[in-house]
A and B are shown apart, each in its own frame.
Chain A
Amino acid sequence: MPASRHFCQKVPQATPVAVFKLSNDFKEDPNPMKVNLGVGAYRTDEGQPWVLPVVKKVEKLIVADNRLNHEYLPILGLPEFRSSASKIALGEDSPAIQESRVGAVQCLGGTGALKMGAEFLRRWYNGNDNMKTPVYVSAPTWENHNSVFANAGFKDVRPYKYWDAEKRGLDLDGFLGDLETAPKHSIFVLHACAHNPTGTDPTHVEWMQVAEVMKRRKLFVFFDSAYQGFASGCLDKDAWAVRNFVTQGFEMFCAQSFSKNFGLYNERVGNLTIVARDADNVRRVLSQMEKIVRVTWSNPPSQGARLVAITLNRAELFAEWKDNVKTMADRVLLMRASLQAKLQALGTPGTWDHITQQIGMFSFTGLNPKQVEYMIKERSIYLMASGRINMCGLTTKNIDYVAKSIHETVVNVQ
């Protein structure tokens, strides 16, 4: 009997990834009033995906350019993409860039960038076997953070206090406390802006406090930047924390995603920006990154990176992109304001200021699992069990229904 008959027999059914199951359930729901507040992808006011106008323009340029082909990119990716992507995160005039101590690896989306960073750290950070080095992720965090680091070989992935459910805001004391008690050299995954799933970011002062402890206790800074531009509508504002940490002299990683701010979800465009002490360190780090890339995907996909590189490197296109980003961010801000106003007008029990105070695509409504289940089953409004909603799923056409549903849920279900 062939060998594989034996081993596949024992392969158990895995539980589906929650966010995709939610989308599936939504698709199958026949209720015409249904609303999908699950997956983190931008939607227009018509509830449709939005291919950015600048992306359409650049795609046409690419198709028309006969000099372009489908040859392999270098292992670390398209050079013009890597450098312009890092500039977006760190700023054109970043001292680190000017001092040639910034490197980058083009990766498959933000996930791929986190993966590469994690694999590198496990091999090379602080001695060369970091399986036991603690990796801290915020409580709560994007659920895939845990898997990325665990799969990269880290055996000790722990939460750091972040969300205060009672006051519906940042648990700064808890956060700083965990930073103080973390074993030295622990790795911390920080959300650069628009924290997923809570939408709650530290203020500038709070970031500086975080930085102070991390510096003193020699903790490793690993930023996850998936929403630059999406939080405030302004790229520079959203990069404040990352840039401040660079100014403070940290060596760090920043995993960047262009899925949301370029709307290039399925092209898998990401960049791992590496800030090191000097150019020599960058060089050696990149050479080892190549080894990791080679046994994972050999070299990254070219289409998305090409598109982003062309856009970032041409003034008119860059300006148009920033405008497109602002369009998206503004619609989100409008929906936040609108939802909050409606809940207040309805007199929905509880305070709803957090809806407008939170930043980015997501809002942690504060709805509990029973209430979430009610929303899904009774109202066909799909949101994550954590109470996270994607603001982009709201439109001027469905916001009344959603507001009324939240009101009814909060009143009837405890």
Chain B
Amino acid sequence: LANVIADFIMPCEAGWLFSVIYCLYLLLDVSISLPDCFSSWWSEVQMGPPDPILGVSEAYKRDTNPKKINLGVGAYRDDQGKPYVLSCVRKAEAQIAAKKLDKEYLAIGGLGDFTKACAKLALGDDNEVIKSGRNITVQTISGTGSLRIGANFLSRFHTEARDVYLPKPSWGNHTPIFRDAGMQLKAYTYYDPKTCGFDFQGALNDISKIPEKSVIMLHACAHNPTGVDPRPEQWKEIADLVKKRNLLVFFDMAYQGFASGDIDRDAWAVRYFIEQGHNIVLSQSFAKNMGLYGERVGGFTVVCKDAEEAKRVESQLKILIRPIYSNPPMNGARIAATILNTPDLYKEWLGEVHGMANRIITMRELLVANLKKEGSTRNWKHVIDQIGMFCFTGLKPEQVERLTKEFSVYMTKDGRISMAGVTSGNVGYLAQGIHAVTK
């Protein structure tokens, strides 16, 4: 080693001297990589706060109360409170296993069979956009990954406006995603806490003031966290106004099928906007409607002027994707594609989604009935009017805290509960708790 130092590192007179000192250093077995005054590269790294949504599940797991209920994450549970693997998913998996496919890299944009079917599901089989090839749909890491790619794409290419307008409130993760991508976040009125419903006039007022070319985020159906969706006539007026304001529409559709139980009905707003000439961008997730949460299955679509523009956009999406994860995971996309492209599996899937949506609707009714039984005199109509997996109870943070501390009912601070976590077995206890903190 002394020779190496003398010959290569310090080929000079001092080399030998240093090499001797270095060998002594090694002999004395001093093994500090950094001087003592610099104990770690990470000394200044702060402890990050737990994720507001996923952190709820982690707190729930730690709780030892046998009556605990997890109403945090939007993950569907059956009436026994268990995760539900769809039967069509199991069948698709068996079919796939029998094919003995290889594990070669997917293309950057993902599995073609999946992306085509994904677009058709959202836009409708016969949609003119698909027929003319003027959409580009890439496979993404579920809804989050789709939003992120979308945000990155807008940040890089939609340089005329930096602002993204989210409904107030919106999914908690929207803000950090867009911010991290370099966009600025603003909001438009959406939820009316007085009615626990849609503040239509308030929304129109705010939207009418949004500067041209800004991005407006719309939840396609089953708004998260409120469960409050515009009615079709209201969507029409919004579409009109958005066109007048010349805004870029970003639809987030994470619950297609879950809202009403009907795939086409839930995609109505998306399809209407496109019909009206909006060239939207769209994020889709298959986490909930196919129960493929951990497989991370999603799509990102840009509706372009024509096929040529779509090709250019596609090439740029690939440039964005490659330095993040190179190409997407196969397993979930393969399952989703099999279901979407196999007629009897597709039919079975529609039935199962309908079933999940129905169970949730039933739980909404049961919860309200139980609250009445407990003697609550508050108006709980919104619990039934709201749509999809979530219910914005109207509970205040202090009430939520009590519900968690005293009853081990876990939910997010904003008063949102996942109806999917409610069962005929726990709905009574839940009603007790809610009544106790609101009476």
A265 CB contact (under 8 Å) in B105, B292, B304, B325:
B105
* Assembly CA distance A226 to B413 (angstroms): 42
CB neighbours (8 Å) of B85 from chain A are 69-70
- Whether, in the assembled complex, A315 has its beta carbon less than 8 Å from a beta carbon of chain B, the answer is no
Interface residues of B in 104-119 (CB under 8 A from A): 104-108
CB neighbours (8 Å) of A15 from chain B are 315
- Contact B313 A11, beta carbon cutoff 8 Å: yes
- Contact B42 A144, beta carbon cutoff 8 Å: no
In the complex where A7-B158, A11-B312, A14-B316 touch, is A205 in contact with B32 (Cβ < 8 A)?
no
- Contact B42 A49, beta carbon cutoff 8 Å: no
Please give the number of chain B residues whose Cβ is less than 8 angstroms from any Cβ of chain A in the complex.
97
* Assembly CA distance A215 to B38 (angstroms): 13
In the complex where A13-B312, A251-B40 touch, is A296 in contact with B145 (Cβ < 8 A)?
yes
B42 CB contact (under 8 Å) in A63, A108, A209, A277:
A277
Q: Which of B107, B319, B326 has the most CB of A within 10 A?
A: B326
- Contact B33 A288, beta carbon cutoff 8 Å: no
Query: How far, in Å, is B407 (CB) from chain A's closest CB?
Result: 24
Please give the number of chain A residues whose Cβ is less than 8 angstroms from any Cβ of chain B in the complex.
96
- Contact A72 B323, beta carbon cutoff 8 Å: no
- Contact A302 B176, beta carbon cutoff 8 Å: no
Query: How far, in Å, is A376 (CB) from chain B's closest CB?
Result: 21
B243 CB contact (under 8 Å) in A2, A13, A291, A295:
A2
- Whether, in the assembled complex, B64 has its beta carbon less than 8 Å from a beta carbon of chain A, the answer is no
- Contact A266 B330, beta carbon cutoff 8 Å: yes
In the complex where A6-B160, A301-B294 touch, is A108 in contact with B246 (Cβ < 8 A)?
no
Q: Which of A15, A250, A301 has the most CB of B within 10 A?
A: A301
A-contacting 9-mer, from B226-234, B274-282, B369-377, B386-394: B274-282
Query: How far, in Å, is A374 (CB) from chain B's closest CB?
Result: 28
- Contact A297 B325, beta carbon cutoff 8 Å: yes
Query: How far, in Å, is B72 (CB) from chain A's closest CB?
Result: 11
* Assembly CA distance A12 to B106 (angstroms): 24
- Contact B322 A144, beta carbon cutoff 8 Å: yes
- Whether, in the assembled complex, B28 has its beta carbon less than 8 Å from a beta carbon of chain A, the answer is no
- Contact A2 B145, beta carbon cutoff 8 Å: no
- Contact B8 A14, beta carbon cutoff 8 Å: no
CB neighbours (8 Å) of B279 from chain A are 2, 4-5, 8
- Whether, in the assembled complex, B197 has its beta carbon less than 8 Å from a beta carbon of chain A, the answer is no
Interface residues of A in 10-48 (CB under 8 A from B): 10-17, 20, 39, 41, 48
A-contacting 9-mer, from B43-51, B122-130, B263-271, B428-436: B43-51
A-contacting 9-mer, from B89-97, B352-360, B396-404: B89-97
- Contact B329 A301, beta carbon cutoff 8 Å: yes
- Contact A172 B107, beta carbon cutoff 8 Å: no
- Contact A4 B248, beta carbon cutoff 8 Å: yes
A284 CB contact (under 8 Å) in B42, B107, B144:
B42
Interface residues of B in 279-326 (CB under 8 A from A): 279-281, 287, 291-296, 302-305, 309, 311-313, 315-316, 318-320, 322-326
- Contact A288 B142, beta carbon cutoff 8 Å: no
CB neighbours (8 Å) of B332 from chain A are 70, 301, 303
CB neighbours (8 Å) of B45 from chain A are 124, 281, 284-285, 288
Query: How far, in Å, is A146 (CB) from chain B's closest CB?
Result: 9
- Contact A109 B326, beta carbon cutoff 8 Å: yes
- Contact A298 B144, beta carbon cutoff 8 Å: yes
CB neighbours (8 Å) of A60 from chain B are 97
CB neighbours (8 Å) of A51 from chain B are 100, 102-103
CB neighbours (8 Å) of B281 from chain A are 4
* Assembly CA distance A360 to B316 (angstroms): 32
Query: How far, in Å, is B23 (CB) from chain A's closest CB?
Result: 12
- Whether, in the assembled complex, B213 has its beta carbon less than 8 Å from a beta carbon of chain A, the answer is yes
| Chain B residue at smallest Cβ distance from A49 | B102
Q: Which of A1, A12, A14 has the most CB of B within 10 A?
A: A14
- Whether, in the assembled complex, B132 has its beta carbon less than 8 Å from a beta carbon of chain A, the answer is no
* Assembly CA distance A94 to B145 (angstroms): 35
B104 CB contact (under 8 Å) in A2, A107, A209, A265:
A265
- Whether, in the assembled complex, B202 has its beta carbon less than 8 Å from a beta carbon of chain A, the answer is no
A residues at B contact (CB < 8 Å): 1-17, 20, 39, 41, 48-49, 51, 55, 59-60, 63, 69-75, 107-109, 111-112, 115, 124-128, 144, 147-148, 150-152, 172-173, 176, 205, 208-209, 212-213, 215, 218, 220, 247-251, 259, 263-268, 276-278, 281, 283-285, 287-288, 290-291, 294-304
| 24 residue pairs A–B, Cβ–Cβ below 8 Å | A3-B161, A55-B103, A63-B93, A109-B325, A109-B326, A111-B323, A125-B41, A208-B1, A215-B33, A220-B41, A247-B31, A251-B42, A264-B103, A266-B106, A267-B331, A276-B40, A277-B40, A284-B48, A288-B46, A296-B141, A297-B325, A298-B142, A301-B296, A304-B331
Please give 11 more A-B residue pairs, beta carbons under 8 A apart, in addition to A112-B324, A290-B51: A9-B309, A49-B102, A63-B93, A70-B292, A108-B141, A111-B323, A144-B323, A148-B323, A268-B329, A288-B45, A299-B54
